[in-house]
Amino acid sequence: MPRPRAAAEFAPGSPGEPLVDTHGRVHRDLRVSLTDRCSLRCTYCMPEQGNEWLAKSSILTLDEIVRIARVAAADGVTTFRLTGGEPLLRSDIVEVVRRLAVIQGPDGRPVELAMTTNGIRLPELLPSLVDAGLARLNISLDTLRRDRFRDLTRRDRLDDVLAGIAAASASGLRPLKLNAVAMRDVNEDELIDLVQFALDHNAELRFIEQMPLDAGHTWDRSRMVTREEILDELSTRWHLTPVPGRGGAPAERWRLDGGPQTVGVIASVTAPFCGDCDRLRLTADGQLRNCLFSTTEYDLLPSLRQPEGSAGDAEIDAAIDGMLRSCVHGKLPGHAINDPGFLQPARGMNAIGG
């Protein structure tokens, strides 16, 4: 299990100051996992059976999420990305969006609220989510073939995902992004088809190198399709020109045949981008993480759930701020996937929040 930190340790900075780590990286992006549950069982993420679900009592309530988000926004976080597990499985998802979307930073500007989803409940929920203030969507789609989808996700729900993408495409939410994990002998022959599908839906396809984050710990480097292989394959169809100005974004992007359409690659394994990372993660059970691959977590539950009457609102907020600063302060310069001693985190991606 990851090493939890129960109390805030010394870390420089006071409430309202930016969250800067010891390597000068300013943290502006908080990924909020709303649940570890999911309607799919993607092989690279979750085991088919035997998942150890988070205890219901440990899952953050809507009020607790909003409280943490307000403190983070006051400290300069400008983007919240809702994820999971599958965020749309959370019964209060529209209310989560409504309450987070109105949070403002110290300059009075509203935060940007995005979501990563498998898309399955989008047709019914999207109008309410947009009305509640959702600004951007990433939808995961690894294959366009029904039999492959069933094998890969262990559920026969490709049609539901495609309906979700159609709903997103018809909505005004832009930019719309589709995420695909490229996998050897699974979907590596569909890379061009996936990009074309995204273009047909006014979306950008972003390929993700498969990372060692599956709950079953079955990741095998030799099975990974690399950034170079992805680019080689796409170059057989389009002329690729790099898009400058990546900043802290995980995806490198290329214009297709001069643009305006683009494709992205997130090469966490073969071309890590840790030097510009501005992301923090909050798990559904209230653990702050400074990296996907971290084995240390910073537990917010004791700060949030103090015995009644023992701490006022200001003290609780100060404790959350202290934990955010400790978490940022403890961030390493980079992940160590490529080191021989790399230890995969105990949690799978569904419980960390992608």
Q: Which does 46 bind (CB under 5 to 8 A by kind): ligand SF4, ligand SAM, none?
A: ligand SF4
> Per rule CB under 6 A, is residue 353 in the interface with ligand SF4?
no
Residue 268 in contact with ligand SF4, rule: CB under 6 A: no
Q: Is 45 in the site for ligand SF4 (CB under 6 A)?
A: yes
Contact indicator for 71, 320 with CB cutoff of 8 Å: yes
Closest CA to 141 of 149, 132, 133: 149
End-to-end CA distance of the chain: 19
CB of 182 to ligand SF4, least distance (A): 14
Tell me if 84 contacts ligand SF4 by CB under 6 A. Answer: yes
Show the 3-state SS of 123-140: HHHHHHHHHHCCCEEEEE
Q: What is the DSSP string of 49-106?
A: S---PPPGGGSPPHHHHHHHHHHHHHTT--EEEEESS-GGGSTTHHHHHHHHHT-B-T
CA distance 272 to 53: 30
Which residue shows structure tokens 């979700």? 164
Please check whether residue 156 is in contact with residue 124, taking contact to mean a CB–CB distance below 8 angstroms.
no
Is 61 in a helix, a strand, or coil?
A: coil
Indicate the residue whose CB is closest to ligand SAM.
354
Measuring CA to CA, how many Å separate 198 from each of 4, 40, 134, 162, 178?
40, 21, 21, 11, 7
76 or 353: CB nearest ligand SAM = 353
Both structure tokens of 48: 């088919």
2, 17, 20, 41: which one contacts ligand SF4 (CB under 6 A)?
A: 41
**Environment class of residue 332 by beta-carbon count within 10 Å: exposed (0-12), middle (13-18) or buried (19+)?**
middle
Span 130-189, contacts to ligand SF4 by CB under 6 A: 140
Beta bridge partners of 282: 32, 288
351 binds ligand SF4 (CB under 6 A): no
Tokens found for residue 213? 């984050």
Q: Which of 85, 87, 264, 330 binds ligand SF4 (CB under 6 A)?
A: 85
283 touches ligand SAM (CB under 6 A): no
Q: Does 250 bind ligand SAM (CB under 6 A)?
A: no
Residue 210 as a binder of ligand SAM (CB under 6 A): the answer is yes
Interface with ligand SAM includes 208 (CB under 6 A)? Answer: yes
Binding of residue 38 to ligand SF4 (CB under 6 A): yes
- Judged by CB under 6 A, the stretch of 41-49, 232-240, 241-249, 257-265 that binds ligand SF4 is 41-49
Tell me which DSSP letter residue 270 carries. T
CA distance 287 to 299: 5
Pick between residue 145 and residue 305 the one whose CB is nearest to ligand SAM. 145
Q: Could you tell me which stretch among 38-46, 65-73, 166-174, 285-293 binds ligand SAM (CB under 6 A)? A: 38-46
Q: Does 209 bind ligand SF4 (CB under 6 A)?
A: no
Other C-beta atoms closer than 10 Å to the C-beta of 159 total: 11
Nearest-approach distance from CB 349 to ligand SF4, in angstroms: 6
- Minimum CB separation of residue 226 from ligand SAM in Å reads 13
The residue among 71, 66, 58 whose CA lies nearest residue 301 is 58
Is 143 a binder of ligand SAM (CB under 6 A)? no
Residues near ligand SAM (CB under 6 A) are 38, 44-45, 83-84, 86, 116-118, 140, 179, 181, 208, 210-211, 213-214, 349-350, 354
Residues near ligand SF4 (CB under 6 A) are 38, 40-42, 45-46, 84-86, 118, 140, 349-350
